[in-house]
């Protein structure tokens, strides 16, 4: 065979054309996929960071507000005559400090001369300190409650946050200042933010005070109480100082690109920054790029080899189709439509075979659905519920999550069957299924496992599983407040619910049994059709 015949051969042309199509398609997908992943992942990461920043900001805001409200309340109820009796004033501070110990460093009262009158817990050095120069003392003497600048405590020598409120005398004028001081690293204050990381990134959170131009707290200890960087170093930080709240990609003061989200702490005038380096946020994109490139090259080599050999089969499509169909009948290949390479008699035969196979698959899917769903309500049956319960337990074990099982039995259903007939009862069951299905989430499973028995599986729950299960159960009970319309008349039904809570260590049988027993304990109370729930 001469070279000219090789180049003129349709086999060579088909092979070259196929390689070009695959190469162009692979390169196009490579760039399109990586760009799409980067843009899409940017939105997802920014949304996640913003949600996390909002959560942390709300938590900090609640804790600061709780402490400020407490100082204001204590200042309002402090008897003015105690200001002239330091020992009794100290007893008063001790009583209220022990009742609500929100201030880990303590409470103290500052007189007009700027010195402490009394404090608790008592610290001798505090009596020698002049507090008149502190911002929170000056503002309180002007009649305003004030969240002071976070600083190193003069007595404790650790980062603290002072909060003050004016104490008014009998004449309504400010006679003293009540100050509560909390260590930033005190339990149940800012310690959680200081020790929390996003992924493997150490410096994940920042708490910024625009008023004081300082980092109030940080998950990186050496940044706590440090001054803010100058304007122009971090574009997104400058926008945050100007009032921007949201998420974006920026370059921090260290020259590292990161995804940052900013959320307000309104009570103190601060804002929280949740940060994640772009290298970590978009690590998936880089892995996909390397994986795609490596597999594209491998696919081209493999395709070239197999295409050269496979062209012999392309010239004999009838034999190939026969062998393909034969392998499917023996179970060596999955039952799937065969490719149609030519629009000739063989192509028409393969098309007819594919249509027949499609009908067979439809029948199999219908049979599979009938085997796992209740024919009356369309809900999952006991078999499918068992499968999903096993999956939910496995997922709970992996994620250390919780789940809940609600076993529901209708009260008064037998009366409808006896008086109106089974057809009316079936209509009621269908209506019950529709009402309950409108309550559950898409990730939950509502199943009918018996005549008038339903089971609701709530999966992937957190430590609030009892409250969530209780809420869902109450919604189920409310769904039965409206009478059911059947056979031209209204019927009132009740429902008894038993709830079982579990985790990754539970078994499906034990959960079902516990929920069933809980439901029967409700039944035995004699309040048939009541809204009583037994946990």
CATH number, residue 496: 3.30.70.270
Residue 156, domain member (yes or no) = yes
Cα separation, 212 vs 232, in Å, equals 18
Known catalytic residues are 452
End-of-domain residue from the set 163, 183, 203: 183
Residue 194, domain member (yes or no) = no
Maximal CA-CA distance, the chain? 117
Residue 446, domain member (yes or no) = yes
Residue 207, domain member (yes or no) = no
Output b/e per residue, 245-272; b: 16+ Cβ within 10 A.
bebbbbebeeeeebbbbbbbbebbebbb
Cα separation, 264 vs 271, in Å, equals 4
Three-class DSSP labels, 98-118? HHCCCCCCEEEEECCCCEEEE
pLDDT in tens, the chain (535 residues): 466 655 655 666 777 777 778 777 777 776 777 777 777 778 888 888 889 889 889 999 999 999 999 999 999 999 999 999 999 999 999 988 877 788 988 999 999 998 999 999 888 777 778 888 899 999 999 999 999 999 998 878 899 999 999 999 888 899 999 999 999 888 888 877 766 666 555 567 899 999 999 999 888 888 889 999 898 888 988 899 999 999 988 888 788 888 899 999 999 999 999 888 887 777 777 777 777 777 777 877 777 777 766 665 555 665 566 677 777 777 777 767 767 776 765 677 677 777 776 776 666 666 666 667 888 888 898 888 889 889 999 998 898 889 999 999 988 888 888 788 888 888 988 999 999 988 888 888 999 988 889 999 998 888 888 898 898 988 988 888 888 887 777 888 888 899 999 888 888 889 999 999 988 888 887 655 443 344 4
Cβ atoms of 457 and 388 within 8 Å: the answer is yes
End-of-domain residue from the set 183, 217, 239: 183
- Give the structural domain span for 100: 78-183
What is residue 183's three-state secondary structure? strand
Cα separation, 369 vs 471, in Å, equals 31
- CA distances in angstroms from 329 to 81, 313, 323, 345, listed in the order given: 99, 20, 10, 22
Residue 223, domain member (yes or no) = no
End-of-domain residue from the set 161, 183, 205: 183
CATH number, residue 154: 3.30.450.20
Cβ atoms of 68 and 162 within 8 Å: the answer is no
Cα separation, 493 vs 502, in Å, equals 29
Residue 289, domain member (yes or no) = no
Cα separation, 464 vs 454, in Å, equals 23
pLDDT of residue 494: 86
Cα separation, 495 vs 429, in Å, equals 12
Residue 393, domain member (yes or no) = yes
Cα separation, 391 vs 460, in Å, equals 11
Pairing of strands 533-534, 494-503: parallel
pTM over 0.85: no
Cα separation, 254 vs 223, in Å, equals 13
Output b/e per residue, 451-473; b: 16+ Cβ within 10 A.
ebbbbbbbbebeeebeeebbebb
Domain count, the chain: 2
Residue 390, domain member (yes or no) = yes
């Amino acid at each position: 065979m001469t070279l000219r015949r090789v180049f003129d051969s349709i086999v060579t042309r088909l092979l070259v054309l196929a390689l070009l199509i695959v190469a162009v398609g692979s390169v196009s997908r490579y760039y399109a996929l990586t760009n799409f992943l980067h843009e899409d992942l940017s939105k997802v990461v920014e949304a996640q960071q913003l949600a996390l920043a909002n959560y942390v900001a709300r938590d900090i805001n609640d804790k600061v507000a709780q402490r400020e409200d407490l100082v204001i309340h204590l200042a309002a109820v402090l008897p003015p005559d105690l200001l002239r009796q330091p020992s009794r004033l100290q007893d008063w501070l001790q009583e209220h400090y022990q009742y609500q110990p929100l201030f880990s460093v303590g409470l103290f009262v500052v007189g007009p001369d700027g010195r402490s009158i009394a404090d608790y817990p008592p610290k001798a050095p505090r009596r020698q300190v002049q507090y008149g120069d502190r911002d929170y003392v000056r503002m309180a003497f002007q009649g305003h409650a004030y969240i002071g600048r976070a600083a190193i405590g003069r007595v404790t020598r650790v980062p603290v946050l002072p909060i003050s409120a004016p104490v008014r005398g009998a004449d309504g004028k400010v006679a003293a200042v009540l100050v509560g001081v909390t260590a930033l690293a005190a339990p149940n204050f800012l310690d959680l933010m200081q020790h929390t990381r996003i992924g493997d990134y150490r410096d994940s959170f920042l708490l910024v005070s625009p008023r004081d131009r300082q980092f109030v707290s940080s998950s990186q200890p050496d940044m706590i109480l440090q001054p803010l960087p100058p304007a122009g170093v971090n574009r997104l930080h400058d926008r945050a100082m100007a009032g921007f709240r949201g998420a974006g990609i920026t370059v921090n003061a260290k020259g590292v690109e990161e995804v940052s989200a900013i959320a307000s702490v309104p009570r103190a005038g601060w804002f929280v920054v949740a940060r994640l380096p772009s290298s970590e946020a978009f690590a998936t994109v880089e892995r996909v790029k390397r994986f795609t490139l490596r597999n594209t090259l491998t696919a081209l080599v493999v395709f070239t080899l197999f295409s050269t050999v496979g062209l012999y089969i392309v010239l004999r499509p009838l034999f190939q189709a026969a062998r393909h169909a034969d392998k499917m009948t023996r179970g060596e290949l999955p039952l799937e439509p065969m490719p149609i390479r030519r629009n000739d008699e063989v192509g028409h035969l393969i098309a007819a075979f594919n249509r027949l196979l499609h009908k067979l698959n439809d029948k199999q899917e219908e049979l599979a659905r009938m085997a796992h769903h209740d024919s009356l309500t369309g809900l999952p049956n006991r078999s499918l519920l068992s499968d999903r319960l096993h999956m939910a337990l496995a997922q709970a074990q992996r994620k250390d999550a919780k789940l809940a099982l609600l076993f529901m039995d209708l009260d008064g259903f037998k009366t409808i069957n006896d008086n109106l007939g089974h057809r009316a009862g079936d209509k009621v069951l269908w209506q019950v299924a529709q009402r309950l299905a409108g309550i559950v989430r898409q990730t939950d499973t509502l199943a009918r496992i018996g005549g008038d028995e339903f089971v609701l599986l709530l999966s992937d729950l957190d430590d609030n599983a009892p409250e969530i299960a209780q809420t869902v159960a109450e919604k189920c009970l409310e769904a039965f407040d409206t009478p059911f319309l059947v056979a031209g008349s209204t019927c009132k039904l009740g429902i008894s619910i038993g709830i079982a809570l579990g985790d990754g260590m539970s078994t499906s049988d034990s959960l079902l049994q516990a929920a069933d027993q809980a439901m029967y304990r409700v039944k035995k109370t004699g309040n048939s059709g009541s809204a009583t729930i037994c946990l």
